[in-house]
A and B are shown apart, each in its own frame.
Chain A
Amino acid sequence: MRSAAKDYETVIGLEVHAQLLTRSKMFCGCPTTFGAAPNSQTCPICQGMPGTLPVINRRAIEFGVRTALAFHCTINPGCRFARKHYYYPDMPKNFQISQYEEPLAEHGWLEVTVDGQERRVGIQRLHLEEDVGKLIHDGPLETARSSLVDFNRSGVPLMETVSEPDIRSPEEAAAYLRAFRAILLYLGVCDGNMEERSLRCDANISLRERGETGFGTKVEIKNMNSFRNVQRALEFEVGRQTEALARGERLVQETRLWDADRGYTRSMRSKEFAHDYRYFPEPDLVPLTMDRARVEEIRAGLPELPADRRQRFMRAYTLPAYDALLLTQSRALADYYEAAVREFARPKIVSNWIMSELLREIPADDEKALAASPVPAKNLAGLLQLIDRGTISGKIAKDVFEKMFRSGEDADTIVTREGLIQVADTGALAAIIEQILAANPKAVLDWKRGKKAAAGALVGHVMKATQGKANPGVVNSLLQEKLSQL
């Protein structure tokens, strides 16, 4: 007898690789800039030439420590690099210098918010390693007659962070990544660009019956190049595994590739990943001892992180939790907000305008676009001041914002050039109102008979006649005055 559909719990762990924004590579002096001509940013060391030796990039270690501290990790008093062996042409030495038994840091956590609920996701370990080069195939890999290799990326510092299997839904996985990325950007250690592969994520996912404490069969998913794809791939995988389990099938431990175009994961031949990495301590590098004083110095120098900034926004600007969370998603956005509030000290109004207008044009986590916004914070504040002073109406201001965004001009310039200044001159308005009343006797009559709503229609006529430039407050009071005199 088959029991009714079982209730499964999703168990997810994420491995994130982040390219560090150091100027030079992990173990040589080559630059790390993106997009240079193939193999132009290489030297004998990052090409794995015979006889070359690695030298640790101190800055990369500092970036690692900084991140580990932000993730509340314990910085190990000593750490060590190890060689991880496998053959692939994008890896010039056929081993990668990574960390194995003695990582830089362990046992941290990251705060994740889903549906307004906060949860801590554990971080197992954080370590540093070198990136590999890039293969360029002459056509599809399967049929390519030749392949070229570009070692520009070979040796770029990578930071790998492995979460505990604490994540319980695809949505939470996406939230983890957003929080993770925000912290890296706040720290300035990674540009967070998933499309350019400076941030990469692999996921481990398994299901278990609710109430179980052991783990089900784990599947690793690779090849997801955006947060959205991570969530989609995991959602697909939850469905696939649930169905398989419901049919009474046994899942196999395997690596599956996400196919974003087709929207499914497919199994990789397990042989391809049956590696014995034969780790052993890198004999060309001496073990690193972490100087406690230096670690404390780095801790003291940490910037305010998203969670702290969110709390401060709620406290200092009395913003609702929702606004504070959204505005602190990226450092650039939070900076933008605070810069605008400095010029225009009505925090909730600034928040509303950013959420409804600015974020319609720029994604909240696009640091570069935010920093280069055609409407800088100062100009947004300028626009809001015009509304505040009654120079323009809120409605017109929305059009002005759009024009500012397209042209990069400030609000004053546009408002003046286009004659959008609100008519608040009672003399001029009184004359217009007289005309409108004369032209709409029915509405006037309705009003007199007690249909007070008729006034709204009359205000609308006035606004129309002034092409929206009339100050609605002034129009309203003048109209009431005239009507009661009639």
Chain B
Amino acid sequence: MRGGAGLSVSNPLTESTAHELVEKFRSGAATPSAATRAYLDRITALDPTVRAYITVTRERALAAASAADERWRTGRPKGPIDGVPTAVKDVLCTKGVRTTCGSKILERFVPPYDATVIERLEAAGAVILGKTNMDEFAMGSSTEHSAFFATRNPWDLSRVPGGSSGGSAAAVGADLAAAAIGSDTGGSIRQPGAFTGTVGLKPTYGRVSRYGLVAFASSLDQVGPLTKDVADAALVLRVIAGHDPLDSTSADVPVPDYAAELSRPIAGLRIGVPKEYFVEGMDPEVERAVREAIEVLQRLGATAEPLSLPTTDFALAAYYLIAPAEASSNLARYDGVKYGSRVASAKDLIDMYSKTRAQGFGAEVKRRIMLGTYALSAGYHEAYYAKAQKVRTLVRRDFEAAFSRVDVIVAPTTPNVPFKLGEKEDPLAMYLNDIFTIPVNLAGLPGLSVRCGFSLASLPIGLQFIGRPFDEATLLRAASAYEQATPWRDRRPSLG
């Protein structure tokens, strides 16, 4: 019997980072099967409390792990993460494994194909443990908007893990996966990364294929890793990044060996500190931690200079027109005709559409569909959608101007530490969580969140690095240098 009451589920394997696990596989100190079983045991014991996973693919994971065992035993690993137990946000299509997007309308949807990111993970040997919880269709910042259940923050179970990739972030934060994949449209990797003290990386728009990523807002969505440390983020990004002929918006830009970049010092790196990212009303503990982090970076040889991104204030408004507009279009296909749920009692086609959608979508999704439909409708299109696109151009220009002077921008990931479940019932209060992450999506830039301390209540705080397009290497290098120079990595939540 496994996972029984009182049995300790803490295990050196589940406490290892992905790169540490790979070293153990290489040396023979551990096998992918042992690691996978350790994670599955821990999920059995702790996930009823954390609730990170919607679906655990136990049998598939064990089969994949045993194949990885064989490859390591014969000294022929498939790739840099061969055998690493990995969780995947339930927004990425997995062939034969249901993909719900946290929505009732896709509760029974089993995709007939794998997302490109899934193919690349498996081609590199990753062992997929299961599919993680999320705000419905990635719309939300707390994972409370999942149609199934809320995920808890491993650092304080009464608090949210952030969102929408809250399941993936909580899984990594609670050692329920060695690494995880999330998606980020307005902060959905970085904000839960900050809230769970994990490393969350949103790559440049076009860096990672979106093929098989169930779309929320196509011009903003990106897939990226949530990991235990920066080195792991570098490993996973290398595996999933790169041009994909199936995604016309994916860029044909070479993928560097990110891990090899990490050891390069950051002396001389020019850091910009945008004044608009230190706003009134933000948590003073967050501000203090971020300011201290900037001092650490300076001690490491970086130079810091203040700068201004004046359009920051308009970014949130522009985002809440563009993202819902695209969402209203992307979600039109959930009509009960082809897949997913269909209401049986409809009297005609229109009735089937409206009942299926009324019952299949949650309140937040409906709110955004209505907002987006309105923003695109005749007579309002110019005033809303078109104007928001103009703001988007200005936001991008702000960043371009900034990056003519600095190499990387450093800012808080979120204005606050994790909040309590049910605390933010007003949608606007929830949206304000993303004011520091949204401009990065509008500009299509890479952004990374790394743990930079704890509040007095022992809640993690996130430091955000924002880089030039396709310059994830600099973000990873700066974040890694910071991580190595500070003690924050050593703390873990006390879950058992």
**Residues of chain A at the chain B interface (Cβ within 8 Å):** 44, 47-56, 83, 85, 87, 89, 92-95, 149, 276, 278-280, 283-286
Partner of B111, one of A48, A49, A276: A49
Contact with A along B230-253 (1 / 0, CB 8 A): 000000000000000111110000
**Residues of chain B within 8 A of A95, CB atoms compared:** 329, 332
Are B113's CB and A49's CB within 8 A?
yes
Task: Please tell me if the beta carbons of B248 and A50 are within 8 angstroms of each other in the complex.
Answer: no
- Measured between alpha carbons, how far is A215 from B36 in the docked complex, in Å? 74
- Complex Cα–Cα for A48 and B106 (A): 14
> When A50-B101, A286-B248 are in contact, do A94 and B332 touch as well, CB less than 8 Å?
yes
The answer to whether A53 touches B246, judged by C-beta atoms less than 8 angstroms apart, is yes
Which residue of chain A lies nearest to B339 when distances are taken between CB atoms in the complex? A49
Question: Does B325 touch A at the CB level, under 8 Å?
Answer: yes
A89 vs B214: C-alpha distance when bound (angstroms): 20
| Nearest A residue (CB) for B250 | A53
Minimum CB–CB distance from A256 to chain B (whole Å) comes to 23
Q: Nearest chain-A residue to B385 (Cβ)?
A: A280
CB pair A149 B337 closer than 8 Å = yes
Cα A48 to Cα B325 in complex, Å, equals 19
Q: Report yes or no: A283 in contact with B219, Cβ–Cβ below 8 A.
A: yes
A51 in contact with B338 given A92-B333, A94-B333, A283-B326 (CB within 8 Å)? no
B-chain residues with CB within 8 Å of residue A55 when the two chains form the complex: 245-246, 248
**Please, which residues of chain A bring their CB within 8 A of the CB of B332?**
85, 87, 93-95
> Which residues in window 314-356 of B have CB below 8 A to A?
325-326, 328-329, 332-333, 335, 337-339, 349, 353
**Per-position contact with A for B188-212: 1 when CB-CB < 8 Å, else 0?**
0000000000000000000000111
Contact B335–A94 (Cβ < 8 Å):
yes
Question: Which of the segments B372-380, B449-457, B464-472 contacts the partner chain?
Answer: B372-380
CA distance A285 to B111 in the complex (A): 23
A51 touches B325 (CB 8 A): no
Q: Which residues of B contact A (CB under 8 A)?
A: 92-93, 99, 101, 106, 109, 111-113, 115, 210-215, 217-219, 245-249, 325-326, 328-329, 332-333, 335, 337-339, 349, 353, 373, 376-378, 381, 385
Contact of A284 with B213 in the complex, beta carbons under 8 Å? no
Complex partner residue of B333 from A50, A276, A280, A285, CB under 8 angstroms: A50
- Name the residue in B111, B112, B218, B332 with the highest tally of chain A Cβ atoms < 10 Å from its Cβ: B332
Partner of A50, one of B99, B325, B335, B376: B99
Beyond A89-B349, A284-B218, is A53–B376 a contact (Cβ under 8 Å)?
Answer: no
Say whether A53 contacts B333, CB under 8 Å: no
Can you offer 28 A-B residue contacts whose CB atoms are under 8 A?
A44-B113, A49-B112, A50-B93, A50-B111, A50-B339, A51-B93, A51-B115, A51-B215, A52-B113, A53-B246, A53-B247, A53-B248, A55-B246, A85-B329, A85-B376, A87-B353, A92-B337, A94-B332, A94-B333, A149-B337, A276-B378, A280-B326, A280-B376, A283-B217, A283-B218, A283-B219, A284-B248, A286-B248
Determine chain A's interface SS by DSSP, over half rule. Answer: loop
State how many angstroms separate the Cβ of A48 from the closest Cβ of chain B.
5
Within the complex, which residue of A51, A89, A93 is in contact with B92, where a contact is CB–CB below 8 Å?
A51
Interface hub of A54, A279, A280 (most chain B Cβ within 10 A): A280
Chain B contacts of A94 at CB under 8 A? 332-333, 335
Question: How far apart sit A94 and B353, CA to CA, in the bound complex (Å)?
Answer: 11
User: Which B residues lie within 8 Å of A283 (CB)?
Assistant: 217-219, 249, 326
A54–B217 Cα gap in the complex (Å)?
15
Q: How far is B337's CA from A52's CA once the two chains are assembled, in angstroms?
A: 17
Contacts beyond the supplied A50-B99, A50-B109: 4 A-B pairs with Cβ under 8 Å:
A47-B338, A87-B335, A89-B337, A280-B376
A48 pairs with B338, CB closer than 8 A: yes
Q: In the complex where A50-B106, A51-B115 touch, is A284 in contact with B337 (Cβ < 8 A)?
A: no
Q: Which residues of B contact A49 (CB under 8 A)?
A: 93, 111-113, 339
* A285 and B215 form a contact (CB under 8 A): no
Q: Which residue of B lies closest to A151 (CB)?
A: B338
> Which of A44, A53, A89, A285 neighbours the largest number of chain B CB atoms within 10 Å of its CB?
A53
Select from chain A the residue with minimum beta-carbon distance to B115: A51
Residue in A51, A89, A286 whose beta carbon sits within 8 Å of that of B249 in the complex: A286
Give min CB distance, A257 to chain B, whole Å: 19
Q: How far is the CB of A151 from chain B (nearest CB, A)?
A: 9
Which residues on the B side are within 8 Å of A93 (C-beta)? 332-333
CB distance from A146 to the nearest CB of B (A): 11
Which residues of B are found within 8 Å of A83, using beta-carbon distances? 329
| B328 surroundings in chain A (CB, below 8 A) | 278
CB atoms of B248 and A51 under 8 A apart:
no
Q: Are A50 and B329 in contact (CB under 8 A)?
A: no
Do residues A51 and B212 form an inter-chain contact, with CB atoms below 8 A? yes
User: Closest Cβ of chain B: how far from A46's Cβ, in Å?
Assistant: 12
Do A284 and B249 contact each other (CB < 8 Å), given the known contacts A51-B93, A92-B338, A276-B378?
yes
Using known A-B contacts A44-B111, A149-B337, determine if residue A51 contacts B219 with beta carbons closer than 8 Å: no
